[in-house]
Amino acid sequence: MTFATADLCDAHEDRLAAGTLRVLDPVFRWFGRAPCFSGPALTLKVFEDNSLVRATLETPGEGRVLVVDGGGSLRCALVGGNLGQFAQNNGWAGVVVNGCVRDSLELNALDVGIAALATHPQRSLRRGIGERDVPVRMPGATVRTGDWIYADIDGVLVADAPLAV
């Protein structure tokens, strides 16, 4: 399925006005070869620890979008080439990271979409700390597990329910 977030915003202005469709702040960089991705969100809240990110991406994605609130940290990467490979191979539609990624050349060779704040060469700590399926505060909007994510190079949308595309 292909779509453009700009077209979705135009077609659903009523939902934007009602707040049932929200636009994340335009702070994300795009990685991967997928021109767009969408699916129901699964949320994680972590800080400079990607243990839960890895454990989640190692499971079947079933077309979902992993939304990772990394607290906006720019001090290490939460997703790299290996985790991007897990996302692609395990059927995740995409990943949105409020934090950094690394191995950008490897990520850009994958058939998955990843949106993140920046790149950082240092890997995260691995303490096994984090929360799953909790509301996460991403730049511009709160995302809950089960919300629908629509993302492309122009932006990331969060909808309370699936949109007609």
User: pLDDT tens-digit profile of 56-98?
Assistant: 999 999 999 999 999 999 999 999 999 999 999 999 999 999 9
Q: Give the pTM.
A: 0.97
Mean pLDDT of the chain: 97
Instruction: Please give the Cα distance from 17 to 111 (Å, whole number).
Output: 34
Beta bridge partners of 23: 157
Angle in degrees, CA 141, 146, 152, rounded to 5: 60
**Topology (CATH) of 5-159:** Glucose Oxidase; domain 1 (3.50.30)
User: pLDDT tens-digit profile of 22-63?
Assistant: 999 999 999 999 999 999 999 999 999 999 999 999 999 999
Query: Domain limits of the chain?
Result: 5-159
pLDDT at 160: 97
